[in-house]
Amino acid sequence: MANEVLENSWTYLTVNFIIKLSLVVEKDAIFVIYDKLSKMTYFVTTTEKTSVERLARLYELLESMIFDRGSQFIAGLTRELS
């Protein structure tokens, strides 16, 4: 992937969560989405308990995602996408 030429925006993403934030309007986390081609970043307020099912519905058409979450989270996401 490091040497591939990216052709489509919003298909190769890096995603991350910023967690353990002070609770504001029932939100305590930020979901960070970074598109590798366009270099655009979105910050989405959410909760630490965002479900794998919800993420799978939002991103089922992506070709590549990079997570820094644990292996159980990634396994759950993979199950939801298949």
Q: Which of 56, 63, 53, 64 is nearest to 14 (CA)?
A: 64
Residue 79 has pLDDT above 70, yes or no: no
Residues 38-76 pLDDT 10s:
899 988 888 888 777 776 665 554 555 666 666 666 666
pLDDT for the residue 41: 92
Domain 12-81 has CATH 3.30.420.40: no
Domain spans of the chain?
A: 12-81
pLDDT for the residue 64: 57
Q: In whole angstroms, what is the distance from residue 5 CA to residue 22 CA?
A: 40
